């Protein structure tokens, strides 16, 4: 079975000794990316989600460390989950505009796969709290697992952003 490549089909020059690399965006995809408002929406929501994550991880850690502040920690995980779902929804619209499909476009395949894990873990937290599965410590530990997956996913997207910037430099240079 062949998995989708991490990049699109447009070629970039290779390094001094390396083969040509494939580009993240074709010129048409780049034009769509630059022309859609969803790029700005993602650019606003991503740092907002990160700030919500930072506040929440502190509140969750405080609860796990001291046993105090459950209500604030729980509320922060719910807010983080809501922002996550919002960025995933708008991100899938962005992906549809740029690549022609809502999820799993070749250049973002692995990021989307990990995003599904992140969504599932956040949803598991919500269901665990809603159904009173486990105690508060177990639920908050589940939130931390969701946050660990989120950190991996955020790193994937930051690396993809870096690759896009290198591609832009190669096209301009």
Q: Do the Cβ atoms of 12 and 23 come closer than 8 Å?
A: yes
The arithmetic mean of pLDDT across residues 96-115, rounded, is 96
Residues 98-130 as b or e (16 or more Cβ within 10 Å = b): bbeeebbbbbbebbbebbeebbebbebbbebbe
Triad 17, 108, 94: Cα angle to 5°: 130
In-domain check, residue 21: no
| Model pLDDT, residue 119 | 98
Question: To the nearest whole number, what is the mean pLDDT of the chain?
Answer: 88
15 domain residue, yes or no: no
Place of tokens 């969701």: 146
Give the integer Cα–Cα distance in Å for 100 and 9.
Answer: 15
Asked whether residue 39 is assigned to any structural domain, the reply reads yes
- Asked if residue 1 has pLDDT above 70, the reply is no
pLDDT at 135 over 70: yes
* C-beta atoms surrounding 150 within 10 Å: 23
Q: What is the span of the domain harbouring residue 138?
A: 27-172
Of the pLDDT bands very low, low, confident and very high (cuts 50, 70, 90), residue 10 is: very low
């Amino acid at each position: 079975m062949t998995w989708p490549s991490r990049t699109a089909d447009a070629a970039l020059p290779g390094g001094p000794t390396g083969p040509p690399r494939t580009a993240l965006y074709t010129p048409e995809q780049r034009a769509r990316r630059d022309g859609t408002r969803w790029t700005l929406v993602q650019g606003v929501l991503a740092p907002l989600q990160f700030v919500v994550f930072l506040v929440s991880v502190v509140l969750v850690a405080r609860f796990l460390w001291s046993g105090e502040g459950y209500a604030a920690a729980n509320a922060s995980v719910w807010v983080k989950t809501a922002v996550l779902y919002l960025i995933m929804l708008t991100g899938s619209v962005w992906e549809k505009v740029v690549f022609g499909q809502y999820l799993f476009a070749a250049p973002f395949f692995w990021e989307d796969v990990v995003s599904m894990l992140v969504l599932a873990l956040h949803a598991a937290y919500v269901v665990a709290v809603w159904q009173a599965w486990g105690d508060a410590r177990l639920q908050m530990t589940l939130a931390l697992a969701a946050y660990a997956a989120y950190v991996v996913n955020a790193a994937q997207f930051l690396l993809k952003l870096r690759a896009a910037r290198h591609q832009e430099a190669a096209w301009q240079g």
